[in-house]
Amino acid sequence: MISISTERLILREASLHDAPHYALGVGEYEVAKFLTRVPYPYTLGMAIDWLRQAQPATPEKFMLLIELPNKGVIGCISLLNELGFWIALPHWNKGYVTEAATAMLHWHFAGCTAEIVTSSAHHNNAASLAVQKKLGFVQDTREMRFSQTLQHNVDHVVTRLSRQHWQARRELR
């Protein structure tokens, strides 16, 4: 089982025991409204089904829980079709997503040959767009995507990060 530690976090594969914490975090309306594919309300059964289908994590494709030691699961980060993440409402604005995403992008680019990582966010999700910008993602396109929670199409900003840009930014630090 993959487990990656950062300064404050543990990024690890999920087990079915995590389903209640997962459902509580992603099930908050303020979280779910920015996650296109997440329905609202989000149930424990949905969390169990989602976690049950998770594949073993590799640098190319992963879905890992974000755990705050002594607090438990506070979010999730994944790279399936694109880099995605959520963090439970009480843990917003503490830099946890940037910390987790930095570790995962490092693991991704070090462990596979992919040249580009794509991410996206609702056009009005300033926090997620700010994290992407901090990580070096640049806006590529915009597109409409259907939001399960909001039940209508939402303007999405699609961003991209190249391996070359990532490595250049890392060398400057």
Q: Average pLDDT of 127-138? A: 97
Confidence of residue 86 (pLDDT cuts 50, 70, 90): very high
Task: Please state the rounded mean pLDDT for residues 29-39.
Answer: 97
0.75 surpassed by pTM = yes
CATH superfamily of 3-172: Gcn5-related N-acetyltransferase (GNAT) (3.40.630.30)
Q: How confident is the model at residue 170 (pLDDT cuts 50, 70, 90)?
A: confident
Task: Using the predicted structure, report yes or no on whether residue 173 has a pLDDT greater than 70.
Answer: no
Closest CA to 35 of 139, 103, 166, 46: 46
Measured in degrees and rounded to the nearest 5, phi and psi for residue 75 equal 175, -165
Rounded to 10 degrees, what is the CA torsion of 33, 39, 43, 48? Answer: -110
Residue 165, Cβ neighbours under 10 Å: how many? 15
* Per-domain boundaries in the chain: 3-172
Average pLDDT of span 95-110 = 98
- The tokens for 8 are 């404050």
